[in-house]
Amino acid sequence: MTKRLLIIEDDEFLQELIDRVAKEMGFETQSIRSLSPDCVGLLESDPDLVLLDLKIPGADGVEVLRAFAEHQFHSPIVLMSGVDTRTLKAARRIGCEHGLNMADTLTKPFGRRKLQATLHSALSMSNMIGPDDLERGIDRGELRLVYQPKRCSKTNRPVGVESLVRWHHPRLGVLAPLRFIGMAEESGLMYRLTDWVLETALRQLKEWELAGIQLTMAINVSSTNLRNPGFPDRCSELVTELELQDPRLILEVTERRAITLDLLTTEVLARLRLRNIELSVDDCGTGFSSLRLLKRLPFSELKIDRSFVKDIVRDRDAWLITRAIVELGHALGLRVVAEGVEDDDTESVLREFGCDQLQGYSIALPMGADCVPAWWASVCDTPASPSNSGSGRVANC
């Protein structure tokens, strides 16, 4: 897709140079040599990138930045100037404080190569997404769930799925959760996102249940959800409304961020357990949970992190740590799941350790809801023996 560049520069020579270089790079350009402080009309062309000279007849760059901010302009801005670097940096800071996407600065004079490099890196920032985009994405139904199955290591039967969110962004394509989960947390959008995931996943579970497909549903929740006193009721409301058979819902809480023992979190966890909702320590082994915490909080499952599982065949430390987590989990009366299982040898080692459930690319890839019935049928048709684990492994659609 052609990118639009708005050039705000009064120096004719420089303006022509930028115009030429940008067009060679595939930009569509629009140039302006003077402006009024009320320069908002410029934004109507919705440029993907703006090059703004700090000193331009009719207005100074700082006024222009303020006007851009008032109109919530989100595209990256590169500031140019021949004034000293400190002034340029100060102007950039002002832009940042206004919440603008200040991509870079260009100190004059600059040559072709410097300009190309700056345009290139600033453009990659135009792929950046903000909380407003995500909120709009949720409203417009751009989020989808894929489901990754888990199997029982002893019988090889399917036991459940984990829901993983994807954002089908109209401009950037399918975005993985790591591109937007952190932002959702920081911007307070995690409540909305989790609520959407919870409701979508549970409605899906009900549909499968009605089709005779009995699975548990794991969803990933963030620590902010666990500080929301309304969360347990919302979960049980949905379980009741859908008349789901209990216990069908598992909430995975990552250990990468501290699972705290603050009173509110402990209360929310306890109230979830009282409602028959299971709790799993995700990414176990990577984080901050102390053993005491594992004992005191009402978790029912440990999910060993992929970084250990993927190396157990080759790396002695990974082998030892994984085995220790399985033993610890069992000693505490918890179910133990291994994630990131990618080959038969890893599966065999995990079975030897007595790990209860397996998940990973060698078990099944994450798949759309419509592929689950076919996967279910293919694994239920095979004899319940781990030696047949190859069957039904790839549900690639």
The residues that touch Ca ion, with contacts defined as CB under 5 A, are: 220, 252, 282-283, 339
Quick one: which of 197, 217, 358, 395 contacts ligand C2E (CB under 6 A)? 197
In the complex, what is the shortest distance from the CB of residue 15 to ligand C2E, in angstroms, rounded to a whole number? 44
Output the residue with the shortest Cβ distance to ligand C2E.
Answer: 360
* Cα separation, 250 vs 197, whole angstroms: 13
List all residues 6 or more positions away from 21 whose beta carbon is below 8 Å from its beta carbon.
112, 115, 116, 119
- Minimum CB separation of residue 254 from Ca ion in Å reads 7
**Segment 269-298, which members bind ligand C2E (CB under 6 A)?**
282-283
The interface region with ligand C2E, picked from 1-9, 97-105, 235-243, 359-367 by CB under 6 A, is 359-367
The rounded distance, in Å, linking the Cα atoms of 180 and 206 is 28
Q: Does 137 participate in binding ligand C2E (rule CB under 6 A)? A: no
Longest dimension (CA), the chain: 79
Q: Which of 29, 75, 105, 222 binds ligand C2E (CB under 6 A)?
A: 222
Query: Of 115 and 184, which has the nearer Cβ to ligand C2E?
Result: 184
- φ, ψ at 23 (rounded to 5°): -65, -40
**Residue closer to ligand C2E, measured from CB, 148 or 204:** 148
Element (H, E) at 352: helix 344-353
Q: What is each CA distance from 232 to 273, 301, 337, in whole angstroms?
A: 9, 18, 24
- Strand residue runs (E) in 239-381: 249-254, 278-284, 301-304, 335-338, 357-358
Residue 366 binds ligand C2E, judged by CB under 6 A:
yes
The answer to whether residue 94 forms part of the interface with ligand C2E (CB under 6 A) is: no
Check binding of 176 to ligand C2E (CB under 6 A): yes
Choose among 53, 49, 52, 54: nearest CA to 28: 49
Distance separating alpha carbons of residues 380 and 85, to the nearest angstrom? 68
Q: Which of residues 296-315 bind ligand C2E (CB under 6 A)?
A: 306
Interacting partner of 178 out of Ca ion, ligand C2E, none (Cβ under 5 to 8 A depending on kind) = ligand C2E
Question: Cα-flanking dihedrals φ and ψ of residue 21, to 5°?
Answer: -60, -45
- How many chain residues bind ligand C2E (CB under 6 A)? 23
41 CB-contact burial (10 Å; exposed 0-12 / middle 13-18 / buried 19+): exposed
In the set 15, 29, 228, 254, which binds ligand C2E (CB under 6 A)? 254
d(CA 392, CA 383) in angstroms, rounded, equals: 12
Minimum distance, C-beta of residue 112 to ligand C2E, in the bound complex (Å)? 39
**Least CB distance to ligand C2E at residue 235 (A):** 14
Instruction: Give whichever of 9 and 305 is closer to ligand C2E, judged by the CB atom.
Output: 305
- Interacting residue ranges for ligand C2E, rule: CB under 6 A: 148, 164-165, 176-178, 181, 197, 220-222, 252, 254, 282-283, 306, 339-342, 360-361, 366
